[in-house]
Amino acid sequence: MDPSPGAKGDRVPVRLDPVRALIAGPAALALGLATCWTLKLGYADRLYHAGSPAAVAEARRLEPANATYFQNDPDDRPALEHAVAENPRYSQGWIELGLLAEIEGDLRRAERCLLEANRVDSTYEPRWSLANFYFRHANQQGFWTWARKAAEIAYFNQTPLFQLCWRVSQDPATILARAIPDRPTILAEYLYFLLLQKRIEEAEPVGERLVSRSAVETLPVLLFYCDRLIEAGRMGSAVRCWNALCRRGLVNHQSLDPGQGRVLTNGDFATSPQSVGFDWRVQPPAGVNVVRLGSPQALRISFSGSQPERCQLLAQALPVEPGQAYRLAYFWRTAGVPAASGLRWYVADLATWKELATAPLPPADESWQPGALTFTAPLGTTGARLVLEYRRAEGTTRMEGTLWLRRMSMGFSQAAFSNQQSAVSTKPIADR
C-alpha cells in the first residue's frame, strides 16, 4: 500500500496555481515599474533642486509633464509656455507670461495672460497682479475693479495696495467707496494705515464704519483710533467710538454723556485702568507703585521716596462742554504722608495744557475724607485733562507713604455751589 501523501519524511511536490500565476506575474511587473518610476521621480526632483542649469535641464527631460520644473526662470518664455501647456492651472506661469508680454509691449497679450491666471486661480496673487497692471497703464476702471477684488480676499498687510489707491486718487471718499470692502479686517487695516499717515480727518468715515462692526479682533485698532481722536481734539468722534465699544461690551465701562455732564470714566475703579481711550492713564515712574484694590474698590499709590521730584501719577481726558462748570468729588486717605506732601489735582485745557484749576491734597490720616475740585471749561475748548501730580515741596525730602483714592465722580457744578462748601478749597490759577 502506498504511503499517504504528506506523511512524515515524504517530499510533496509544489504545484503553482495557473490563475495565481497569471495574476502574480503582471503584479510583480507593475510593482517593479512603479519602483523604477518612483526612483526616476526622486532623481528628477533631486536634480531640479540642485539648481544648476544642466541639472534643471535634465530634470525637465526626465519629467517634461512636471510644470514645476519649468518655473524657476521667469524670463524663459518657452519653459513658461511649456509649463502652462502641461498644467493650465499653473497661475504663476500665466502671471510671468503676462509680465514678459508687458515688457515686450504686447499689452493685449499681457492682459489676457493675467486674466487667465485669475480664471484658473481665484486667490489673491492674480487679483493683485491685475490691479498693478491696470495701475501701471492708467486704467482707473480696471484698477478700482481689481483693487477691490484683491481687498475682498486679502489676508496680510495691505499697505502697498492702500498706497496705490492714494496714488490713483487723493479723494478719500472715492477710495473708501471703490476699493475698501466692508470686511472688518480690511477696514481695520485701512484705518490703521490712515492713522499712521496722520490722516485723522480721512480716518473718521472708516472708523465710523468699523465701529459699527467692532469685534474683539478689531478692538486694538479702534482703541488706537480713539486715542488719536482725543489727541486731535475730535471729541465728538472719540466719544462715539468709545461709547460703541462700551455698549458692545468690548470695553467694560459705562458710556459717556457730555450733554448730561457724565464725562469721567472708571471713577469707582471697578476695573484696572487700561491707559487707553477715556480710561485712566497710569504710567508710574520708578519709585511709585499703583495697584487697584477690589474690596473696597480703590486705587492705592505707594511712594518709596526714590521717585522723581515731579511726576504725573494719574491722568484722564475729559470730553467737557465749552463754558460749563464742573465739580470733581472723591474720597481719599493716606498713611505716612507728610503734611507738605506735594500731591495735587489739576485740570488743564486739552489743546494748550493751560491749567484751569488746581487743588493740593491737604494733610490727611488713615480715615476716608471727601475731596473736591471745581473748574469751568473755557469757551472754544476741545476738551480737558484731569491730572494727579506729585511735585516735591521746597525744603522737604522726597515723600514716602501711601495714598488711596475711591468713589470719584464728576458732573455739572450746581449754581449754588461755592468754593467754601468744597471739602478742599480750590481756586482757578488766575485767582491765586
Selection from 141, 317, 158, 156 nearest residue 227 by Cα: 317
**CA-CA distance, 303 to 286, in Å (whole number)?**
9
Q: Choose among 139, 138, 118, 140: nearest CA to 127.
A: 118
Measured CA to CA in angstroms, residue 354 lies from 351, 380, 427 at distances of 8, 13, 14
Look up residue 338 and give its amino acid: P
Give residue 420's pLDDT: 32
Taking alpha carbons only, the member of 305, 299, 263 closest to residue 282 is 299
Q: What is the pLDDT of residues 351-399, one digit of tens each?
A: 999 999 999 987 777 889 999 999 999 999 999 999 999 999 888 899 9
167 phi and psi angles, rounded to 5 deg = -80, -30
Contact between 184 and 213 (Cβ < 8 Å): yes
pLDDT at 156: 83
Regarding pTM above 0.85, the answer is no
How does pLDDT run across 118-140, given as a tens digit for each residue?
Answer: 999 999 999 999 999 999 999 99
Buried-exposed string 96-119: b where 16+ CB fall within 10 A, e elsewhere: bbbbbbbeeeeeeebbebbebbbe
Cell numbers for 274 = 487700561
Place of cell 502652462: 84
The Cα 368–Cα 110 span in angstroms is 78
Structural domains of the chain, ranges and CATH numbers in brackets: 288-431 (2.60.120.260)
Instruction: Please tell me the predicted confidence (pLDDT) of residue 201.
Output: 96
- β-strand 384-391 against 343-349: which pairing, if any? antiparallel
Of the candidates 304, 295, 298, 302, the one whose C-alpha atom is nearest the C-alpha of residue 335 is: 302
d(CA 34, CA 27): 10
Q: Give the DSSP letter of residue 65.
A: T
- Reference 117, options 103, 105, 101; nearest CA is 101
Cβ-contact 415, 348 below 8 angstroms: no
**How big is the chain by its Cα radius of gyration, in Å?**
37
DSSP state of 50: H
pLDDT in the model for residue 7: 47
Q: How many residues in total does the chain contain?
A: 432
Helix (H) or strand (E) holding 431: none
Are 124 and 154 in contact by the 8 Å Cβ rule? The answer is yes
- Rounded to 10°, the helix 172-179/200-211 angle is 30
Q: And the C-alpha cell for 189?
A: 487695516
For strand 297-303 and strand 288-294, is the pairing parallel, antiparallel, or unpaired?
antiparallel
Q: How far apart are CA 233 and CA 319, in angstroms?
A: 9
Check: CB of residue 383 under 8 Å from CB of residue 317.
yes
Which residues of the chain fall below pLDDT 70? 1-53, 55-75, 415-432
